[in-house]
Amino acid sequence: MQSSILNNIQSPKDLRKLPKGELPQLAKELREFIINVVATKEGHLGASLGVVELTLALHYVFDTPNDQLIWDVGHQAYGHKILTGRKNIFETNRQFGGISGFPKRSESEFDTFGTGHSSTSISAALGMAIASELKGEDKHHIAVIGDASIASGMAFEGLNHAGVTNANLLVVLNDNAIGIDPSVGALKQYLTNVKSGSNGQDNIFEALKFNYSGPIDGHNIKALISELERLKSISGPKLLHVTTTKGKGLKQAEEDQVKYHAPGKFNANTGELIPKALSKFTKFQDVFGHTLVELAKTNEKIIGITPAMPTGSSLKYMMDTFPDRAFDVGIAEQHAVTLAAGMTTQGFITFCNIYSTFLQRAYDQIVHDVALQKLPVIFCLDRAGLVGEDGATHHGVFDLAFLRCIPNIIIFAPRNEIELRNIMYTAQLGLDLPIAIRYPRGKGKIINWKQPFEKIPIGSATQIKKGNNIAILSIGTIADMVSNAIEDLDVSHYDIRFLKPLDYKLLHHIFSNYNSIITIEDGTIKGGLGSAILEFAAQNNYTNNVKVCGIPDQFIEHGSVNELQKSIKLDIDSLKNIISELQ
């Protein structure tokens, strides 16, 4: 239910007309609005609830969008979106054709920089601040970054540069001791000591030449406004340390901050989660997590590593069972990869679990620290392919292409849970090269997936169905969609599964026996499976008709996976039409 204050706010200009005494009531209404919408539409809840007062204070004090405000990561920006002209369409948040769940430059002039991955805000805001200085503009530049994100290497790079400039930059450190999972590392302990008053060292931010203030209560809107007003008059780089509670205002979200980061649907009045229909199937993440523990029990050299996603990746099972052999390194993908490489040089078998979209952030480390040195790190790429409502910043559609061009690396995409288990088993037996295993978000299709392990021959493809005239080559779990589409059709279906090395013997057989070939993948068509098959055909002078299906050469927006597949003609009906045209 909305009351009159929020109803009358269409932009920050309206907000600034309010007397300060009305802001606590507006904060209450804004929280209720976020809770009511997310309860039914789903999305990121806890992060946005935790910064309601901070959001109001920033827009109240600063002349946005002339003053430029950047939200690091961006899943805490719901209040920002509501206050900046998107309240009436906020119910479309993360829905197909609706507004994005993250700040997006094309969506609003108030979204001054697109975010979705962490730790970019300081560098971007500094770039804007330096540019404003060069243009002779008088404006403020604010980066709001969490305690988990500020521990990332890129954030330190931005702080290090900013400290030797005169840029009009304000970094607001939103310290709630949690990202998606609880924050980790020495910096987290340092901030804990600062908040408790037990820090006996020099202030780390002052050592980096920032004008430091805080910590102050991020839910005290009067104190926030007073301090922000003071900081407006101070030149050069500044850092305001703000302490908040993730999930503030919803009892369950405060008590279980991990679960209520993105809780799904819940009762807006009670906060209780609405149970999802029980499924007999298991998430690929849990197949990975339980299989890793099973392997680790018989192989003491196995190590698990994740950059800040122990719950999402299900590495938490390994952390619970073997706490000395599983590491959450925080939001530090580059470090995670090279840490894995270092441990591998010492004879350990490292499973480095990183979401596909976040592996992009460690590309140099994959090339230089792993592949060049032929270190057999086992990369488990979670959330590969289209991930749904998180949209363009989170789809894991580039991994096949950007990994395939790197020498000395094996690339495998299991079509089901059993194959995921078996390739993990195969990899820990010992490989001469690193391997990337990519699998999707969500549940599989096999109930009894916990079968005895079988070794998979590296570079071997398999035939799923035998037919005539047309051969369909798929990779990964999209094979299930292909099987459904061709159930009643006289065509062959092959699971390539190893993008690198390819099964050249089988490919020669396919090109010698089928006039038309269709490749299908849930990765970009530029550089992926289709490209590899076309290269093979060209190198061997085959002239078969090859149709490439996959993610088109564009960024795919948000929506359900089914909606997105249909929109890019990667669904069952589209595949049937393609087959019909080739017959």
Span 111-161, pLDDT tens digits: 999 999 999 999 999 999 999 999 999 999 999 999 999 999 999 999 999
Catalytic (active site) residue 246: yes
| pLDDT tens sequence across 414-431 | 999 999 999 999 999 999
Which is nearest to 237 in space by CA: 173, 172, 162, 174?
162
Q: Is 20 left (phi over 0), alpha (psi -120 to 50) or beta?
A: alpha
Does the pLDDT value for residue 1 go beyond 70? no
Mean pLDDT of 45-50: 92
Instruction: For the chain, give the number of residues.
Output: 583
3-state helix/strand/coil string of 557-579: CCCCHHHHHHHCCCCHHHHHHHH
* Residue 228 in this model has a pLDDT that exceeds 90: yes
**pLDDT for 200:** 60
Is 383 annotated in the active site? no
DSSP string, 89-155: GGGGTTSTTS--SS--TTT-TT--S--SSSS-HHHHHHHHHHHHHHHT----EEEEEETTGGGSHHH
Task: Indicate if 361 belongs to the active site.
Answer: yes
Residue 275's pLDDT is what? 87
pLDDT at 182: 79
Reported as a single tens digit per residue, the pLDDT across 70-117 is 999 999 999 999 999 999 999 999 999 999 999 999 999 999 999 999
Report the mean per-residue pLDDT for the chain. Answer: 94
Give percent of the chain above pLDDT 90: 86
Q: How far is CA 83 from CA 15, 30, 370, in A?
A: 8, 9, 46
Burial track 359-381 (b if 16+ CB lie within 10 A, e otherwise): bbbbeebbbebbbeeebbbbbbb
Quick check: helix, strand or coil at residue 489? Answer: coil
| Whole-angstrom distance, CA of residue 468 vs CA of residue 480 | 20
Three-state DSSP at 528 gives coil
pLDDT (tens digit per residue) in 319-367? 999 999 999 999 999 999 999 999 999 999 999 999 999 999 999 999 9
Buried-exposed string 431-457: b where 16+ CB fall within 10 A, e elsewhere: bebbbbbbbbbbbbebeebeeebeebe
Does the pLDDT at position 3 exceed 70?
no
The residue from 81, 87, 238, 246 that is catalytic is 246
Pick the more confident residue, 195 or 344. Answer: 344
Across 167-222, the runs of DSSP E, i.e. the strands, are 169-175, 211-217
Supply the pLDDT for residue 187. 86
The mean per-residue pLDDT over the stretch 260-285 comes to 89
Confirm if 219 and 248 have CB atoms less than 8 A apart: yes
pLDDT confidence band for 4 (50 / 70 / 90): confident
pLDDT value of position 386: 97
The pTM score is 0.93
Which percentage of the chain shows pLDDT scores above 70?
99
pLDDT of the residue at 566: 95
Q: How far apart are the first and last CA of the chain?
A: 57
pLDDT at 115: 96
Provide the β-strand partners of residue 242. Answer: 174, 216
Query: By CB neighbour count within 10 A (0-12 exposed, 13-18 middle, 19+ buried), where does 543 fall?
Result: exposed
What pLDDT score was predicted for residue 2?
A: 45
For residue 452, the model assigns a pLDDT of 96
Question: Among residues 21, 106, 116, 12, which one has the least CA distance to residue 66?
Answer: 12
Tens of pLDDT along 384-414? 999 999 999 999 999 999 999 999 999 999 9
Average pLDDT over residues 553-582: 94
pLDDT (tens digit, 9 = 90+) per residue, 485-543? 999 999 999 999 999 999 999 999 999 999 999 999 999 999 999 999 999 999 999 99
Which residue segments constitute the domains of the chain, with CATH numbers given?
Answer: 4-261 (3.40.50.970), 284-438 (3.40.50.970), 463-582 (3.40.50.920)
DSSP state of 392: G
Q: Could you give the CA distance from residue 250 to residue 516 in angstroms, rounded to a whole number? A: 58
Give tens-digit pLDDT for 6-46.
999 999 999 999 999 999 999 999 999 999 999 999 889 98
Which is the catalytic residue, given 86, 87, 94, 361?
361
Between these two residues, 500 and 266, which has the higher pLDDT value?
Answer: 500
Give me the pLDDT at residue 189, please: 85
573 pLDDT higher than 60: yes
How large is the average pLDDT for residues 215-223? Answer: 95
